Amino acid sequence: MISIYLDIVKDALYPKKRGVLSKRNKFIKVSALSPMSAEDIRKLRQKLHLSAQLFADVLGVSVKTVNAWESGTNTPQGASLRLMNMLSAYPDILIETKTVVETGYHQIAP
């Protein structure tokens, strides 16, 4: 998935401008953010099989922020919303980028 993106960006850079993609090239654009409701966020977190704390860690926010989003008190914006849009479309990115890795199992005492 990541290599396909890199190929698309390389193709869009013709003519190449010092290897940097800018709006002036006008070959690609950044799509608008899709808003997410409290229920959408909860469903995304559950789809990813993450606790609220792990979801917060992935997004770089506090668990209180995730709880506020899921209760509808606050709405995500900016980078957090962009990341959630990406995770919604490509949930495997967490594994591919090694953002989430398995470290073993916790054994519960009988």
What is 17-75 written as a DSSP string? STT---GGG-S--PPPPPP--HHHHHHHHHHTT--HHHHHHHHTS-HHHHHHHHHTSS-
Q: Above 70 in pLDDT, residue 14? A: no
Same domain flag for 18 and 57:
no
**How many structural domains does the chain have?**
2
What range does the domain containing 88 cover? 38-96
- At 46, phi and psi to the nearest 5? -70, -35
Give pLDDT tens digits for 29-58: 778 999 999 999 999 999 999 999 999 999
Helix (H, G, I), strand (E, B) or coil at 50: coil
- pLDDT of 55 reads 97
Domain identity same for 50 and 72: yes
Residue type for position 101: V
pLDDT one-digit tens code per residue, 65-89:
999 999 999 999 999 999 999 999 9
